[in-house]
Amino acid sequence: MSGSGTTAMKMSALLAGLISMLIWGCTADRPVADCDLSRGVCMKELSHYKVVFYTEPAPPEALKETVFNLEITPPVEAERIVMELTMPGMYMGENTLELRKTGGGKYKGKGIIVKCPSGSTLWQADFLIPETGRVRYRFHVIY
């Protein structure tokens, strides 16, 4: 009898540990937006470049055509920049878009952000700038 009691105690201790790990994991790693497109532009630094990202409309709306803009200062040589649209911690299929150069350091591309079935509005855009690096913005989309 005492044996089963010990097992039950061990089990509940294990469960409590597991639950606290899960809670800790959620709060510690939950991704958050680092870019508020409703306020205009988001600026990031990538080595000695300043990279500005903004959308039209701002903020972007799901299922509506959106223009994605990137401005790099000082300008780089690249004619095209690939943008990968993903959701943190969720596979949403392939959503890549090409931004084309429109002038000194400015790039533009059009696309549509889909609506996430989970209801989460947090998306992230990774821009792959040839021979320069990768820059990521996390932002909310209106549903």
Q: Which two tokens stand for residue 112?
A: 């549509």
The piece of 61-69, 81-89, 122-130, 135-143 that touches Cu ion (CB under 5 A) is 81-89
The piece of 2-10, 35-43, 104-112, 113-121 that touches Cu ion (CB under 5 A) is 113-121
Which CB atom, from 73 or from 120, has the smaller least distance to Cu ion? Answer: 120
List 46, 114, 116, 128, residue binding Cu ion (CB under 5 A): 116
Q: How far is the CB of 134 from Cu ion (least distance, A)?
A: 21
| Residue 141 makes contact with Cu ion by CB under 5 A | no
| Residue 15 makes contact with Cu ion by CB under 5 A | no
Check if the beta carbon of residue 107 is closer than 8 Å to that of residue 79.
Answer: no
Check if the beta carbon of residue 99 is closer than 8 Å to that of residue 81.
Answer: yes
Q: Which two tokens stand for residue 134?
A: 């990768």
Residues ≥6 apart with Cβ < 8 Å to 69:
52, 53, 54, 55, 56, 99, 106, 107, 108
